[in-house]
Amino acid sequence: MDTLEKIKQQISENPILIYMKGSPKLPSCGFSAQASQAMMNCGEPFAYVDILQNPDIRTELPKYANWPTFPQLWVEGELIGGCDIILEMFQKGELQPLIKETAAKYKEDTDEQSAE
């Protein structure tokens, strides 16, 4: 499977997915830390991919997404945005219902998980 296929598969198999540096519990950059904290505050499980462990994805995803930076939040196959957008949506109260409604559609008894 090439990198682009892997990215498409991760996005299609994980209704709530964040590409970030590090993991939600051990983020490796401030932007990823803020974004994953906002996600965790929504109270629903979500998948993540640590791009530092996946240099191929780190290289290819910005081209595929047409979005140059990380983190990247994807919900139901659609790019929501990066750190600034995630935090703005969270502060406006727009992120929580989006995450809760999406999680309810795909309810599984899972905790945060790696999508790798």
Tokens of 27: 């983020």
Q: Which helix (H) or strand (E) holds 98?
A: helix 95-105
* Residue 100 pLDDT: 97
pLDDT digits (tens, 9 = 90+) for 31-43: 999 999 999 999 9
Radius of gyration of the chain (CA): 13
Give the 3-state secondary structure of residue 104: helix
- In terms of Cβ atoms closer than 10 Å to its own Cβ (0-12, 13-18, 19+), residue 47 is buried
| 102-108: average pLDDT | 86
CATH topology of domain 3-107: Glutaredoxin (3.40.30)
pTM for the structure as a whole: 0.91
pLDDT digits (tens, 9 = 90+) for 62-84: 999 999 999 999 999 999 999 99
How many CB atoms sit inside 10 A of residue 39's CB? 24
Distance CA 14, CA 37 (A): 19
